[in-house]
Structure 1
């Protein structure tokens, strides 16, 4: 078995070190590391294993000159998002950086205040050769970033499925199936009036989750009722949306929310109306955000492994950049239901719930 040792404890390992350790020319080492077809597979594997064992890392500027790539993946965070990406950003970045680092790539993160700033930053990063490709988080159904990067002939991958997604690379979670499953669980408990609070219609995920809600109703034999559907993008807006649902002549006995942040607003509205979550009103969220874990009773929700998502997006984008001739890569994974005390059998019919709420509003005791 061939033995190699890490060279010069505190010095940078060079191709010369590898050449000396393996008794191969520096040219052979370089061509093996860069995957040239004239190098045998056995030699390539031998060189790569030695490079890993000795801690070799190529100089990024030398690679940029040779390959025309900076070996950097970019992510532009839009600070104007209502939640500033809080539900998933930390875990997502951890997975992304880990996957990129394993392949010898780096991550460039920029922030923008407006959509125009985002487009300008992406253009500048491409023109200055500081990024080889972009991950587009939380894509919109009609996302201007897609057209901008296509015009720049720059690889990208979407976290989500925008319109015409079949023609591009994406990674997504099957939130339609999650919403349909949620309706099924509520229907199995006896709920027949199930409200839905979705997010802004500009987001691609908003369309998928609303479609899942409607699919779940159909599977449960319930007709969609437009008055049971509201939209919100913040906790405060969700409080108002939930209050509007509870003022209906036949209010829902359960409310399904597109995100956990929106579910927290339903909790607030229920408390203001004197309703007990899980008994008087059932609630299911989506994201398994930290807020959900702190809510009481614990919110029933769907968990998304954002660390795994970041890692998958990083690997998929690197493959897209290094193998541009390959067709778009696409991956959809399921969300995992996390039960909680926020759901139960309905204590009242919609009509009885309306009467109960009316008496409370009138200040009557019962």
Structure 2
């Protein structure tokens, strides 16, 4: 037997419409619509009034209707290259949290996809564009010559770089000034008393690697030290590669008493190799990295490094991309910041001279030193 409630079913209040917001403010529906979508031809004060009134009336646009009307999915896209050894593993969670948080604040969504190769990445981005699942893209880890930029330029799709590139035409970006960090690191090591400061660069072709290498050269010149290619390595962005390059630099006729690395993973490899040779990191050999990966805090001694706030970077990039999609000039959407130096135990005053270090490495590896220690 069916028993009906004694009280009549409460009727749902009618949904607020854009016309209700327009009528309450004495504006046209077109003006309200453009204000809610962030168009810059509507003044900021009017946009704020419209947002306030819409919230007061409980008006929210239907996403599918808005997509049809504006041609936008209100979605930011990012494709992560998961098969890349020099990938975003240490930072991806915080980075995506920042992107998502900033997108949500504007009632946008974040579409995340993965790819294993550069070709796969381009194909995935093309599919997201064709299926209208992203209005624009965040491009992390930019290259000096980047095929993603070429493709998006050709298709007139908005994008923002986490990094920079050789040709900044039509590029909005947010970047951390890695070159300034390298200058600071060289000055710091020089101030501790190091006069043989080596350097190991990052991944070939990436813009961050180019600018950090340039920063090292600038720092060396600034403190009056000669540039010596014998104590400069490159292409090392893993622990194994860092160990390999450390062997090469420490085998030099005048090995470095300090090694500056473009990435933390390389720096951790240098530390591992130094300890295997019986060297005390932060005493016999100083090491500084860049990135602020969690592993560095737990190494022995803790790794001196430059920390990047990935969540804040995500917030900046999402806001810049939304503004770019809304039509702002990319030349007006370029921001930079500095990494924070974590002065930890792996960088200290030298306890060995370069000559003493050479002799120690020669004994540890069974090689005969070709030179006598400096007197």
Relative to the length of structure 1, the TM-score reads 0.89
Say whether the 8 Å CA contact 1:29–1:47 is kept in structure 2: no
SS in 2 for 1:154: coil
Report how far residue 348 of structure 1 moved: 1.4
Correspondences of 1:37-116 after superposition (within 5 Å): 45-53=48-56, 56-116=59-119
Worse-superposed segment, 84-93 or 42-51: 42-51
Worse-superposed segment, 155-164 or 324-333: 324-333
Distance in 2, matches of 1:244 and 1:297, equals 23
Is the aligned partner of 1:120 residue 2:123? yes
Question: Residues 340 and 23 (structure 1 numbering): CA distance in 2 closer, same or farther, change over 3 Å?
Answer: same
Is the aligned partner of 1:19 residue 2:20? yes
Runs of 5+ consecutive residues of structure 2 not aligned to the other structure: 1-11, 369-375
Aligned residues: 353
Q: Which residue matches 1:347?
A: 351
Q: Which residue matches 2:160?
A: 157
Distance in 2, matches of 1:105 and 1:279, equals 51
SS in 2 for 1:283: strand
Distance in 1, matches of 2:80 and 2:251, equals 38
Is the aligned partner of 1:286 residue 2:287? no
Worse-superposed segment, 120-129 or 305-314: 120-129
Is the aligned partner of 1:272 residue 2:246? no
Distance in 1, matches of 2:222 and 2:140, equals 31
Question: Residues 276 and 17 (structure 1 numbering): CA distance in 2 closer, same or farther, change over 3 Å?
Answer: same
SS in 2 for 1:141: coil
Distance in 2, matches of 1:144 and 1:332, equals 23
Distance in 2, matches of 1:323 and 1:207, equals 31
Distance in 1, matches of 2:88 and 2:232, equals 24
Report how far residue 362 of structure 1 moved: 3.9
Is the aligned partner of 1:184 residue 2:187? yes
Q: Which residue matches 2:138?
A: 135
Distance in 1, matches of 2:299 and 2:14, equals 51
Q: Which residue matches 1:306?
A: 310
Say whether the 8 Å CA contact 1:57–1:104 is kept in structure 2: no
Report how far residue 339 of structure 1 moved: 0.7
Worse-superposed segment, 91-100 or 51-60: 51-60
Worse-superposed segment, 56-65 or 229-238: 56-65
Is the aligned partner of 1:204 residue 2:210? no
Say whether the 8 Å CA contact 1:159–1:172 is kept in structure 2: yes
Say whether the 8 Å CA contact 1:228–1:245 is kept in structure 2: yes
What per-residue deviation string (whole Å, max 9, x for no partner) do you get for residues 38-85 of structure 1? 999877544411333565432221111111111111001111210431
Q: Which residue matches 1:195?
A: 198
Distance in 2, matches of 1:160 and 1:182, equals 20
Is the aligned partner of 1:320 residue 2:321? no
Q: Which residue matches 1:8?
A: none
Distance in 1, matches of 2:20 and 2:116, equals 49
Say whether the 8 Å CA contact 1:13–1:54 is kept in structure 2: no
Report how far residue 352 of structure 1 moved: 1.1
Alpha-carbon RMSD: 2.7
Worse-superposed segment, 26-35 or 318-327: 26-35
Report how far residue 289 of structure 1 moved: 1.1
Question: Residues 15 and 340 (structure 1 numbering): CA distance in 2 closer, same or farther, change over 3 Å?
Answer: same
Question: Residues 131 and 39 (structure 1 numbering): CA distance in 2 closer, same or farther, change over 3 Å?
Answer: closer
Q: Which residue matches 2:222?
A: 219
Distance in 2, matches of 1:201 and 1:343, equals 26
Relative to the length of structure 2, the TM-score reads 0.87
Question: Residues 46 and 328 (structure 1 numbering): CA distance in 2 closer, same or farther, change over 3 Å?
Answer: closer
Question: Residues 327 and 217 (structure 1 numbering): CA distance in 2 closer, same or farther, change over 3 Å?
Answer: closer
Runs of 5+ consecutive residues of structure 1 not aligned to the other structure: 1-10
Q: Which runs of 4+ in 1 moved over 6 A?
A: 36-43
Distance in 2, matches of 1:288 and 1:230, equals 21
Distance in 2, matches of 1:101 and 1:13, equals 25
Distance in 2, matches of 1:314 and 1:12, equals 35
Report how far residue 210 of structure 1 moved: 0.2
What per-residue deviation string (whole Å, max 9, x for no partner) do you get for residues 11-36 of structure 1? 8984339939x963998567424328
